[in-house]
């Protein structure tokens, strides 16, 4: 089951969030064999997506999006998720709502 969380992304700014993956004893889970993919869309069925860069290391997953990408996103509410893949098995680890706030400085 995926962790539910909400993100706030400032339009025109670099964005980064780290998610710690722990077992039932609160110990970091080894993610050495995993690769990740994550996207944000206006609606679940939208054809337009905004990809996150995904770094998997040391029991955590870091999602990033640079300012060149966030600057192209219209402010508003979006949905996102992140999936990890190992040995052909795909697992969704986090999902939720992301809110893009408008920028003022140009």
Could you read off the pLDDT of 71-100 as tens digits, one per residue? 999 999 999 999 999 999 999 999 999 999
Tell me, what CATH number does 81's domain have?
Answer: 2.60.40.10
pLDDT at 31: 86
CA proximity to 92, closest of 32, 38, 43, 41? 38
Query: What's residue 23's pLDDT?
Result: 80
pTM (predicted TM-score): 0.90
Q: pLDDT tens digits for 9-51?
A: 999 999 999 998 888 888 888 888 899 999 999 999 999 999 9
Token output for 91: 């697992």
> In this structure, is residue 106 part of a structural domain?
no
Q: How many angstroms separate the Cα of 44 from the Cα of each of 6, 7, 58, 104? A: 15, 16, 30, 28
Q: Considering the domain boundaries, does residue 96 fall inside one?
A: yes
How many angstroms from the chain centroid is the CA of residue 106?
26
Q: Find the domain containing 97 and state its range.
A: 3-101
Q: Quick one: pLDDT at residue 21?
A: 85
Q: Is 68 helix (H, G, I), strand (E, B) or coil?
A: helix
Count of domains for the chain: 1
Q: Which residue has the higher pLDDT, 106 or 33?
A: 33
Q: Is residue 63 part of a domain?
A: yes
Nearest to 78 by CA among 58, 96, 103, 60: 96
Confidence of residue 104 (pLDDT cuts 50, 70, 90): confident
| Predicted confidence (pLDDT) per residue in 45-62, tens digit | 999 999 999 999 888 999
């Amino acid at each position: 089951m995926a962790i539910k969380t909400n993100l706030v992304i400032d339009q025109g700014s670099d964005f980064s969030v780290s998610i710690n993956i722990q077992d039932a004893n609160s110990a970091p889970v080894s993610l050495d064999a995993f690769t990740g993919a994550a996207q944000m869309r206006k609606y679940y069925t939208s054809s337009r997506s905004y990809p996150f860069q995904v770094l998997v290391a040391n029991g955590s997953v870091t999602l990033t999006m640079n300012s060149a990408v966030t600057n192209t996103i219209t402010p508003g509410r979006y949905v996102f998720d992140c999936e990890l893949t190992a040995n052909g098995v795909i697992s969704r680890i986090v999902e939720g709502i992301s809110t893009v706030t408008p920028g003022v400085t140009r």
